[in-house]
Amino acid sequence: MKIKDSVALVTGANRGLGAAFARGLLAAGAAKVYAAARDPAAVTVPGVVAVRLDVNRPDQIAALARELTDVSLVVNNAGIGGSGPVLDPQSIDTLHQQFETNAVGPLRVAQAFAPTLAARGASAIVNVISALSWVTLPGVTGSYSASKAAAWALSNAMRQELKAQRTEVLSLHVALMDTDMARGATGPKSSPDEVVRLAIAALEAGQSEILADEVTRSVHAGLTARPPMYLGMVG
C-alpha cells in the first residue's frame, strides 16, 4: 500500500520503535497518525494525534476501533520484554504477561480494526515481531521468544485471512535496536528510524515479511543450517 495520504494507528507510540514509526509515517506523507499509548500524555511526537490504548484491555481496543473509522494502516508495535530461565516458577507469570501483550494484544487489535480496514479498500497491518521468534537464548529469552513465535504464527494466519479484503500483512523481524528496551543489552543495535524506513519501503513494495538487520538475516538463514541454529545454541 501507499503511505501518502493514508491514516495510520501505531500502538506503543510513546517511545522507541513506535515513536519512530509515528515520525516516519508522517515524513512519508501519511495524512494522519494516531499515536496510541497507555498514557497519551507520554506521546511527544509532533503532529500526531495521541490516543489512549492498552492492548491488554479489550474494552479500550473495541472503543478505539469504533472511534477511529478512518484508519487504513495499523502498526502493531506495543510489546513488553522480560528475561529469565523458563524453569523458574516465576516465569509462568512472565509468560502470561508476554503472551497477552506480544501475541494476544496484536490479534485483538487486528480483529477490532479488520472491518475498518476492509472499508478503506487498500489497507495494511504491520506486526512488529523479532529475530527471537526463531531462536532462544538459553536461560534468558525463553518466554519472550515463545510469545514472539506465537506472534509470528498469528501474523501468518492474519495474512491469509485478510487477503480477500485487500488488507496486506507485513511481519517485521528485527534484533536489537537502540531503544530503552535494549538499553542493557550488548551487541550491535539498529537505528529505529532506519528500521522504519525499511518497513515503509517493504509496505509500499507489497512485501509480506522483512528482515530488518544483518543479525536477523543471519538467524533466519540459520534455521536451515545443519544443525539448525536453534539447536546449535544448546549447551
The CA distance from 180 to 196, in Å, is 17
| 187 has pLDDT over 90 | no
pLDDT for the residue 178: 81
Q: Three-state DSSP class for 34?
A: strand
| 22 has pLDDT over 80 | yes
| 14 has pLDDT over 80 | yes
Q: What is the DSSP letter of 29?
A: T
**CATH domain 7-232 topology:** Rossmann fold (3.40.50)
Amino acid at 28: A
This prediction's pTM: 0.93
Q: What percent of the chain has pLDDT over 70?
A: 95
pLDDT for the residue 185: 64
User: Which one, of 116, 140, 144, 112, lies nearest residue 131 by Cα?
Assistant: 144
The CA distance from 102 to 114, in Å, is 19
| 229 has pLDDT over 90 | no
Given pLDDT bands bounded at 50, 70 and 90, which one contains residue 188?
confident
| 164 has pLDDT over 70 | yes
**What is the rounded average pLDDT for all residues in the chain?**
93
pLDDT one-digit tens code per residue, 61-70: 999 999 999 9
pLDDT one-digit tens code per residue, 28-80: 999 999 999 999 999 999 999 999 999 999 999 999 999 999 999 999 999 99
pLDDT for the residue 137: 83
pLDDT for the residue 139: 75
pLDDT for the residue 76: 98
| 234 has pLDDT over 50 | no
| 117 has pLDDT over 80 | yes
pLDDT for the residue 226: 87
Given pLDDT bands bounded at 50, 70 and 90, which one contains residue 235?
very low
Residue-range domain boundaries for the chain: 7-232
pLDDT for the residue 165: 96
Query: Which of the residues are catalytic?
Result: 144, 148
The CA distance from 51 to 113, in Å, is 15
pLDDT for the residue 233: 55
Amino acid at 166: R
Q: Mean of the pLDDT values across residues 221-233?
A: 84
